Amino acid sequence: MEELILDLKKQIIEALNLEEITPEDIDNDAPLFGEGLGLDSIDALEIIVILDKYYGIKLSNAAEGKTVFRSINSIAEYIAKHRTK
């Protein structure tokens, strides 16, 4: 799980151009949207691309995304359960 979390953070940092931010800066349980990293709707769509590209998960239901994208931990748990690659 720790390896998955580190990979995921690196992928998010790269895809969302979070220059200046390192994996250690992101708290696994902190909210990703609104506060914390202050991500917005386009970032959420970008995380959907990450799930597809690296883990073979197709997430098209925005309502489902809301709970999944709460924090790094919640995304990692979802990936662990649903990944196809």
Partner 1 sequence: MIRVLSTNITSPLGYTTDRNFRSVMEGRASLRPMRHWRDIPDSFVASAFSDAQMEGLMLDGYTKFESLVIRSVSEALSRTQIDMGSHKTLFLLATTKADVDELGSEKGKDRLYQAPGKSARRIAGFFGIVTAPVVVCNACVSGAGAQVLAYRLLEAGYYDQAVVCGADCLTPFVVAGFMSLQSLSPEECRPFDIERRGLNIGEAASTIIYGRCDGQDDAKGRWTLLGGCLNSDAYHISSPSPLADGAVRAMEQVLKDVDKECLACVNVHGTATLFNDQMESVAIEKTGLADIPVSALKGYYGHTLGAAGVLETVLSLRALDEGIVLPVRGFEEIGVSGRITISNQRQKTGKHSFLKLISGFGGCNGALLFAKGAEYRQESLFGPEKDIRLLKSLHLTDSFLKMDGEEKAVDAQGKAMLKELYKRSGLDYPKFYKMDVFSRMVFIASELLLKGIVLPAAEKRAIVLFNQFSSVVQDRKHIGTISGNGGFFPSPSVYIYTLPNIAVGEVAIKQGFKGETSLYILDERDDALMEQIVRTAFYESGPSVMITGWVDCVEEDVFEADLKLLTV
Q: Which is nearer to partner 1, 1 or 40 (CB)?
A: 40
Q: Does 53 bind partner 1 (CB under 8 A)?
A: yes
Distance of alpha carbon 17 from alpha carbon 19, whole angstroms: 5
Q: Does 52 bind partner 1 (CB under 8 A)?
A: yes
Q: Does 63 bind partner 1 (CB under 8 A)?
A: no
Distance of alpha carbon 53 from alpha carbon 51, whole angstroms: 6
Q: Does 18 bind partner 1 (CB under 8 A)?
A: yes
Q: Does 23 bind partner 1 (CB under 8 A)?
A: no
CA-based angle 75:15:46, to the nearest 5?
Answer: 60
Give the residue, chosen from 43, 69, 75, 79, that forms a contact with partner 1 under the rule CB under 8 A.
Answer: 43
